[in-house]
């Protein structure tokens, strides 16, 4: 597959704008760079390296990004708002965007933009000889910075009651590119722990989609299975993530082992 390894986020944006169903997953355990290669060859469009719940070293993340870009799989990284260096480090390593969990306020959103966008939109430090430039200093650094601001994805995760209450304003923040619904934690915030499929969560999803449409941003969601993913897709979600590679392995391993034992 032909692709520009450093502009996969822009390709993802364009495909979403064309109405294409885009499928992703969250990687929170497996560290081999062959995992994203497998995902890309299987047809996934993007994946999120989960540094919120996973245990990845800086080198792990960098190697996973290399594996992803080799097959045109758009690599994103979920990193905490409390780790400003983590945001710039992962973007410099070639990540095509970041997902920031537990957003609560407009100030949170503005801080994320400040840390992930180059001036004049943000205050991200400029380092031009690293993986995100393929170690080749751009001929026009100013244009390069603008292109990065236009393409790389700054994604806010909507999973708190506070964020849901101001979701339209969050979507309107200049420099925010997408909102991602986290059904598990949002269900907890709504007093519905263990019920990510509750109708109130789907109502929240509709509100998020409407806010994104109004501001011209992408709407995304993290789900646990294909059936639920399809429901969210029907609501208008642009980017739909399903499960995790570790979960895929555990499920399929159980099916295979059970099938063999039952046949004996």
Q: Which residues have a catalytic role annotated? A: 53
Which has the closest alpha carbon to 179: 231, 143, 215, 129?
A: 215
Instruction: State the DSSP code for 71.
Output: T
In 10 A of CB 258, how many CB atoms? 10
Q: Where are the alpha helices (DSSP H) in 56-215?
A: 58-69, 84-92, 106-116, 141-151, 161-165, 167-172, 183-189, 199-215
In the chain, % helix, strand, coil (3-state, to 5) comes to: 50, 15, 35
For 69, phi then psi, to 5°, come to -65, -25
CB-based contacts of 216, cutoff 8 Å, min separation 6 = none
Residue 221: in which H helix or E strand, if any?
Answer: strand 218-223
In 10 A of CB 84, how many CB atoms? 18
DSSP 136-180: ---SSHHHHHHHHHHHSEEEEEE-SHHHHHTHHHHHHSTT--EEE
CA angle 88, 89, 91 (to 5 degrees): 65
């Amino acid at each position: 597959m032909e692709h520009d390894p450093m502009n996969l986020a822009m390709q993802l944006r364009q495909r979403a704008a064309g109405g294409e169903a885009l499928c992703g997953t969250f990687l929170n355990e497996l560290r081999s760079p062959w995992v994203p290669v497998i995902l890309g060859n299987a047809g996934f469009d993007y994946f999120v390296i989960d540094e919120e719940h996973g245990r990845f070293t800086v080198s792990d993340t960098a190697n996973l990004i290399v594996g992803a870009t080799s097959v045109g799989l758009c690599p994103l990284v979920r990193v905490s708002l409390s780790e400003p260096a983590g945001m710039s480090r992962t973007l410099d390593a070639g990540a095509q965007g970041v997902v920031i969990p537990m957003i609560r306020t407009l100030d949170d959103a503005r801080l994320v933009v400040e840390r992930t966008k180059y001036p004049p939109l943000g205050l991200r430090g400029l380092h031009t000889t690293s993986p995100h430039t393929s170690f080749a200093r751009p001929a026009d650094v100013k244009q390069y910075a603008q292109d990065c601001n236009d393409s790389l994805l700054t994604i806010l995760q909507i999973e708190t009651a506070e964020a849901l209450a101001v979701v339209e304003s969050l979507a309107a923040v200049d420099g925010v590119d997408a909102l991602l619904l986290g059904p598990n934690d949002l269900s907890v915030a709504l007093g519905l722990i263990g019920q990510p499929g509750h109708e109130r969560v789907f109502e929240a999803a509709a509100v998020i989609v409407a806010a994104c449409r109004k501001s011209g941003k992408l709407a995304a969601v993290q789900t646990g299975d294909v059936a639920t993913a399809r429901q969210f897709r029907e609501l208008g979600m642009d980017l739909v993530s399903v499960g995790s590679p570790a979960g895929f392995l555990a499920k399929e391993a159980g099916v295979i082992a059970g099938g063999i034992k039952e046949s004996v």
